[in-house]
Structure 1
Amino acid sequence: MAEIIEKLIKIIEKPYQALGLGAALAFVILVLYHHSDLDRGYFGPFFTVLHVISGVTWIGLLYYFNLVQIPTVPKIPAELKPAIGKYIAPEALFWFRWSAAATVATGLIVFASGTAVTNLTILTGALLGLIMAYNVWFIIWPNQKVALGLVPADDEAKAKAARLAMLTSRTNFVLSIPMLYCMVTARLVG
């Protein structure tokens, strides 16, 4: 038993392995609870869960950027700022953009499966989510690469890119509230 616990601890210590373990456990529950009913639409709810997890990751990082990182970075001593640009921001931005893509992809699967309520509210939420995902991939990420020095640029270009990335991220922050409202209420009122 101690050996099993030790192996689980080694898995849980690594975030990607812990994420995989959580996904595997959710899949096992799906198969155990619904093995005889898989043809009756249980994969729609499974993708709904993936959609929610992706959305929580995406919006959580959006809130982190807007409520923690952007307001705090100006207060950090200059000698410590390279750690943000070299280690923290690139990793956070990786998860930010891929969770946006996963949210859109799983949302489309849920919508196509018919497990989401197909009314004006869910369509409005989907449109807001698509706008936000576009902003992540085509405005925020390209400008963050410049601002963080991942692509060559002078200081003026870096400052301009950082401002545009921040303003676009802040726009997504604003849009996230009505988007989440639409996602939640569409399921409640359907």
Structure 2
Amino acid sequence: MTQDDIDASKAPLIDHLIELRGRLIKSLIAIAIAFVVCFYFASDIFNILVVPYERAAGETRSIELIYTAPQEYFFTQLKLALFGALFLAFPVLASQIYMFVAPGLYKNERGAFLPFLVATPILFLIGACLVYFVVMPLAMNFFLAMEQEGGAGQASIQLLPRVSEYLGLIMVLIFAFGIVFQLPVVLTLLARAGMTNAADLKRKRKYAVVIAFIMAAVLTPPDPISQISLAVPALLLYEISIIAVRYVERSKAAAETDEAS
């Protein structure tokens, strides 16, 4: 390689780095703006996240959450604001990723890549809704069932969760379900890249069952409700992924047939 070739290859790399920096700056600005907005409404957002706890406890019981350090609730609001900011700013992040990658793709590849960017937040939102409306109330019912009223020979045992611990629990569940619900997107992308196929996924179904329950044990609290609630949707999503991969294979075969004819 001559010096002229080396010099010619530097300019495109520098241009890409400059563009990447601009995309990152725009993404960070979007996250910062969303962070400020979410921090302003942090208490309201937290009250919304407490609704599954209220549903599990029932209307007759007053909900009490505590914080045991002066700065605990403030840092909880910061975490909550960052959590909301990443969620709100995702459309901007996805658009910046697409605009950075799109120039290096062919026209048909752009059309194939764009649906995955749209499907990612939708699947994440479905996973978050499953946590909010189903999993979290069931989990809190399980934890509340361990309370003890007290009396003769019995101590009074009541659940008084800390604000940081409750927020940590529901955030972990939302992220865990949101990530697992990306399984069809990941496997379909791998199929388009030729790294897997429907027959291979069928052969590895038994391993998927084991991995699903291991992931559920690692990503969720150590209660059977949360773990089963994550493992079962993961297995259903795996089956949906096999159908999606089969559809991709048929589409590719049809496209190759058209090109050959």
TM-score, normalized by length of structure 2? 0.30
Q: Which has the larger radius of gyration?
A: 2
TM-score, normalized by length of structure 1? 0.39
Q: Which has the higher helix share?
A: 1
